Amino acid sequence: MNAAATHTADASLLALERVSLSFDGVRAIVDLSFDVSAGAICSLIGPNGAGKSSLLNVINGVYAPQHGSIRFAGRSYARMNAYHAAHAGIARTFQNIALFRRMSVLDNVLTGRSLHRHSTWFEQTFGVGRARRDEAAQRERADSVLDALDLARYRSTPVGTLPYGLQKRVELARALAAEPRLLLLDEPMAGMNAAEKAEMAGFIADANARLGVTVVLIEHDIGVVMDISSHVVVLDYGKKIADGTPDEVRADPAVLAAYLGTRR
């Protein structure tokens, strides 16, 4: 986030206003606008190549759009900076698991607490001053997240030895450990079987309900999307073709056309 940020009065936690993103002339996102209310679970759906992952990268500052602006928590930005987006309360998981495979589950989740530490690098390195008290507090918070996601039994297990579905859950735990206001999930259930998907969907819905975290997720399983979402945005070739409740989107002819190949 930059010095051009301004305060605005807005009931939405997140709002995109006419955002466009191109790579070497190829348009990934085209004049896209939508709002996400605080406390919502908003799913981004659409065919492969629709621009969904690029959109998450714009929201948390990995990509800078050529046009448009983003409002988050009442402030408007010409672009988001990844570092300051994290400080503002935006956390993220990725399509491909991005964990430290040789580190334990607990240590991976503790990396999500880095912005909440109060001791300095010097204190942490030499175990002086506030370091011990701070470390105990961070471990207590990390353990509470592990308990909530039924991961406590794997606390000391190296992440790389866990099954794929559990690794995805650890990644969710690390993101939640950051205590985000907005949680961006890029295909959190990709590669899972039906039982694993149902379990992960339950954890996401529970985090939304109990912690009040607003969720924007990308998911290809339409059944899961319709079950847990309060809001659905549909993209096709970088353009928004539908935006509404699950029932509204389900009945939209443009959505059926995009998914069933019945475009005019």
Least reliable range by pLDDT among 114-123, 143-152, 178-187 = 114-123
Rounded to two decimals, the pTM is 0.86
Structural domains of the chain, ranges and CATH numbers in brackets: 1-89+180-264 (3.40.50.300), 100-179 (no CATH)
* CA distances to 48, 52, 93, 258 from 235, in Å: 10, 7, 20, 9
What the block records as the tokens of 261 is 């190949």
For residue 23, the model assigns a pLDDT of 92
Q: Which residues pair with 193 in a beta bridge?
A: none
Is pLDDT above 70 for 124? no
Do the strands 41-45 and 231-236 form a parallel or antiparallel pair, or are they unpaired?
A: parallel
Least reliable range by pLDDT among 13-17, 39-43, 81-85, 146-150 = 81-85
Inter-residue contact 231 to 219 (CB < 8 Å) = no
Do the strands 182-186 and 90-92 form a parallel or antiparallel pair, or are they unpaired?
A: parallel
Backbone phi and psi for residue 258, each to the nearest 5 degrees, phi listed first: -65, -40
Please give the torsion angle defined by the CA atoms of residues 23, 222, 228 and 148, in that order, rounded to the nearest 10 degrees.
Answer: -80
Name, in order, each residue with C-beta under 8 angstroms of 249's C-beta and a sequence gap of 6 or more: 45, 232, 234, 242, 243, 255
Please count the other Cβ atoms lying within 10 Å of the Cβ belonging to residue 100: 13
Q: What is the pLDDT of residues 127-153, one digit of tens each?
A: 655 656 666 777 888 999 999 999 999
Residue whose tokens read 């809001």:
231
Q: What is the pLDDT of residues 204-233, one digit of tens each?
A: 999 999 999 999 999 989 899 999 999 999
Distance CA 227, CA 179 (A): 24
Listed in order, strand segments (DSSP E) in the chain are 6-7, 12-23, 26-37, 41-45, 67-72, 75-77, 90-92, 182-186, 214-218, 231-236, 239-244
